[in-house]
Amino acid sequence: MGVGGNFWDLLKPYARKEGFDFLRNKRVAVDLSFWIVQPENAIKAMHVRKPHLRLTFFRTISLFCKFGALPVFIVDGSPSLLKSRARIARYFRCSGIELANLPVPEEGVSAERNRLFSSHVQECAELVELLGMPVLKAKGEAEALCAQLNSEGHVDACITADSDAFLFGAKCIIKCFCPNSKEPFECYNMSDIEAGLGLKRKHLIAISLLVGDDHDINGVRGIGLDTALHFVKAFSEDDILNRLHEIGKGNTSQIPICIKVEDNVDGNSPNRKLSHCSFCGHPGSKKDHMKFPCEYCVTKDDEGCQRKPEDFKCDCFSCDMNRKHKEKKRLENQHTIFFHKIAEEPNFPKDEIIDMYLCNDNGYFSASDSPHIVWGNPNIEMLINFLNFHQHWEPAYVRRMMFPMISTIFLRDMTTTTVETTLFGQYEFDSVERVKMRYGYQFFVVKWKRAGVNISCKVPLKESSVQQDDAIELDEMVDLLDDFDAPEIHGDDGCSFLLTDENMDLVGAAFPAEVKRFWQEQELKRIKNSTSRSQENEKSPSPNSRSIQLNITEFYPSTKVKHRQSKQGEESSKNADSQGNGGSKMKRKMSSPDKIPKSVRRRLLFD
């Protein structure tokens, strides 16, 4: 909700679409209830088990691994009395019950949100804590604490769709977060709003008081966003709230008029309009102008005045002053109406709302203390139990989905310490497989090898079909909620590997020698291709052909892991067969090695 009256539309020209790396290594405050409300509205018709937990899980991993952000989750506290009253009023307005029956909330007791929603928030908070993310509880509004952390420099941005956050002091808000696009973040900066609109934080608070917000739905009756904006811009930030107080008390005489009109007009306020000629429209009389042309009609001496055009406006001194006088009166009248509307509003402006917006004490930590924001390692075992209980996910599935987070933490730790060399105690870094383009950004596809164990890939066909069913079902459900790339399982020569997409800088910092070797291999491959192509070009009869033909696979990488032929003998024999028989004897294998059955998958993910 936030500020009423299409406030986001006012800010729309100042939105920035930011790219993939915008949040890399940045601390981001996330309004957790906003994440919970969003899927519940969108997925009501679908039969998905606990969509709030699923979305929170996958989005946290996306934020952490894919975008490299460091999220801090903020949980709502108790809403203020004003907000409870406003919420009740909104409910009754929608339901059509008369206002006379409106219950008054008891003093000192705030109505809590509904129990189901609170339990959802609690479950999500528990989940992100198990994922190792810091969770802070706000005293009141979550976006207030998000904004305070942003303002004080503890976080770099806030993820919330509530425009209140700017009023609470936020500097950077990410309103939309679409992981599936090239520019996933719709970002608003307070500095842009100040530069473009001339509005600072207290200006925004004044607008919300006039137009209405979460805590006072109606605002001042009869004042919309345009009127409020026009009025608020006339004052400085430090002055605006004091002016509202004075207007609310009815002290309109002290308010200076915004538009300065020349003082000499006042002396002529009872001035009568000069008589004007009905023929040419200039001062004078028609009879006089018949004899002699007036000074305004600059014509030849022997001709009379020109007839005035249809849309004629006299621009003589007298008429000009008259128009200015009328304009001044109209503006005075407008301001008088405006002031009266504000003065008629009882108890305006509400000091509780202003104090709440300007409050710098929204969290359970003192000003001298910093909030406890630490990103730790996820608790894998408890997480597996938690998700098995709530989502009925298999431990193997949880470990596989968690793998990108573990690999990201591992790569980050490699730059500082070299304590552990394996993930989950069993996987280790093998090599950089290739470069992958996703939404215009480059990633390394990193290959993780299981340490020291060979697994036989021979499995009966029956389990293979069962595994396919599971994979299809899971993929469909994940696709419906959010984009998430599970690590690919790749079998090669009896060993099993996992492939993840990692940030290039992170891999370069963790394993510089490996990355250097990878680029050298790429360069060697390029030189080899270049040499072979140049030889082909020289064989061609045309001496003018000096260009190098590029390869289509360099632009469109394979979406499936290529199953390499482990033995050269088999490869050459197959080639011989295809050449000799035109490929007619080649038969489709009943079970392709690319489809790893469930038991192998289970072994890979250490059930």
Instruction: Please pick, from the candidates 268, 269, 522, 549, the single residue that binds another protein as defined by CB under 8 A.
Output: 549
Q: Which of 311, 315, 310 lies closest to 297 in space, CA to CA?
A: 315
Q: For tokens 């980050």, name the residue.
A: 412
With binding defined as CB under 8 A, does residue 539 bind another protein? no
Instruction: Please pick, from the candidates 551, 568, 569, 579, the single residue that binds another protein as defined by CB under 8 A.
Output: 551
β-bridge partners, 418: none
Question: Which region, judged by CB under 8 A, interacts with another protein, from 87-95, 137-145, 257-265, 549-557?
Answer: 549-557
With binding defined as CB under 8 A, does residue 568 bind another protein? no
Residues 109-138 that bind another protein (CB under 8 A): none
Tell me the C-alpha distance between 8 and 90, whole Å: 20
Q: Cβ 516 to another protein, closest distance in Å?
A: 23
Name the phi and psi angles at 359, rounded to 5.
-65, 140
Q: For tokens 């004899």, name the residue.
A: 291
Residues 160-189 that bind another protein (CB under 8 A): none
Q: List strand residue ranges (DSSP E) for 190-251, in order.
A: none
Tell me the C-alpha distance between 163 and 227, whole Å: 19
- Give all strands of the β-sheet with 427-438 in edge-to-edge order: 427-438, 441-450, 495-502, 488-492
With binding defined as CB under 8 A, does residue 547 bind another protein? yes
Whether cis (ω within 30° of 0) applies to the bond prior to 349 is yes
With binding defined as CB under 8 A, does residue 462 bind another protein? no
With binding defined as CB under 8 A, does residue 588 bind another protein? yes
The nearer residue to another protein, 192 or 463, going by C-beta atoms, is: 463
With binding defined as CB under 8 A, does residue 460 bind another protein? no
Do 281 and 312 meet the contact criterion of CB atoms below 8 Å apart? yes
Residues 414-443 that bind another protein (CB under 8 A): 437
Q: Which of 55, 54, 58 lies closest to 66 in space, CA to CA?
A: 58
Binding string, 492-531, against another protein, x = CB under 8 A?
A: --------------------------------------xx
Q: Cβ 479 to another protein, closest distance in Å?
A: 13
Angle CA(127)–CA(133)–CA(135) in degrees, nearest 5? 80
With binding defined as CB under 8 A, does residue 550 bind another protein? yes
With binding defined as CB under 8 A, does residue 583 bind another protein? yes
Distance, C-alpha 582 to centroid of its chain: 55
Q: Which of 378, 245, 265 lies closest to 323 in space, CA to CA?
A: 265
Tell me the C-alpha distance between 492 and 499, whole Å: 12
The nearer residue to another protein, 44 or 585, going by C-beta atoms, is: 585
With binding defined as CB under 8 A, does residue 589 bind another protein? yes
Instruction: Please pick, from the candidates 560, 568, 569, 579, the single residue that binds another protein as defined by CB under 8 A.
Output: 560
Instruction: Please pick, from the candidates 116, 374, 513, 590, the single residue that binds another protein as defined by CB under 8 A.
Output: 590
The nearer residue to another protein, 382 or 437, going by C-beta atoms, is: 437
The nearer residue to another protein, 278 or 575, going by C-beta atoms, is: 575
3-state secondary structure of 454: coil
β-bridge partners, 523: none
Residues 320-339 that bind another protein (CB under 8 A): none
Q: For tokens 């909330």, name the residue.
A: 105
Instruction: Please pick, from the candidates 112, 226, 594, 607, the single residue that binds another protein as defined by CB under 8 A.
Output: 594
DSSP structure string for 57-123: HHHHHIIIIIS--EEEEEE--PPPHHHHHHHHHHHHHHHT--GGGPPPPPTT-PPPPPHHHHHHHHH
With binding defined as CB under 8 A, does residue 347 bind another protein? no
Instruction: Please pick, from the candidates 259, 480, 548, 576, the single residue that binds another protein as defined by CB under 8 A.
Output: 548
Q: Cβ 591 to another protein, closest distance in Å?
A: 9
Question: Which region, judged by CB under 8 A, interacts with another protein, from 235-243, 367-375, 398-406, 561-569?
Answer: 561-569
With binding defined as CB under 8 A, does residue 579 bind another protein? no
The nearer residue to another protein, 47 or 462, going by C-beta atoms, is: 462
Q: List strand residue ranges (DSSP E) for 343-466, in order.
A: 427-438, 441-450
Q: Cβ 579 to another protein, closest distance in Å?
A: 12
The nearer residue to another protein, 385 or 537, going by C-beta atoms, is: 537
With binding defined as CB under 8 A, does residue 554 bind another protein? yes
Do 257 and 335 meet the contact criterion of CB atoms below 8 Å apart? yes
With binding defined as CB under 8 A, does residue 46 bind another protein? no
Angle CA(511)–CA(514)–CA(518) in degrees, nearest 5? 135
Q: Cβ 5 to another protein, closest distance in Å?
A: 36
Q: Cβ 418 to another protein, closest distance in Å?
A: 36
Instruction: Please pick, from the candidates 425, 493, 552, 579, the single residue that binds another protein as defined by CB under 8 A.
Output: 552
Q: Residue 247 contacts by C-beta under 8 Å, 6 or more apart in sequence?
A: 255, 339, 342, 343
The nearer residue to another protein, 262 or 538, going by C-beta atoms, is: 538
Burial code of 153-173, b = ≥16 C-beta within 10 A, e = fewer?
Answer: ebbbbbbbbbbbbbbbbbbbb
Beta strands 441-450 and 427-438 are: antiparallel
Q: Cβ 85 to another protein, closest distance in Å?
A: 50
With binding defined as CB under 8 A, does residue 584 bind another protein? yes
Q: Residue 139, Cβ neighbours under 10 Å: how many? A: 15
Residues that bind another protein (CB under 8 A): 437, 472, 530-531, 534-535, 537-538, 540, 542-560, 562-563, 565, 582-584, 586-590, 592, 594
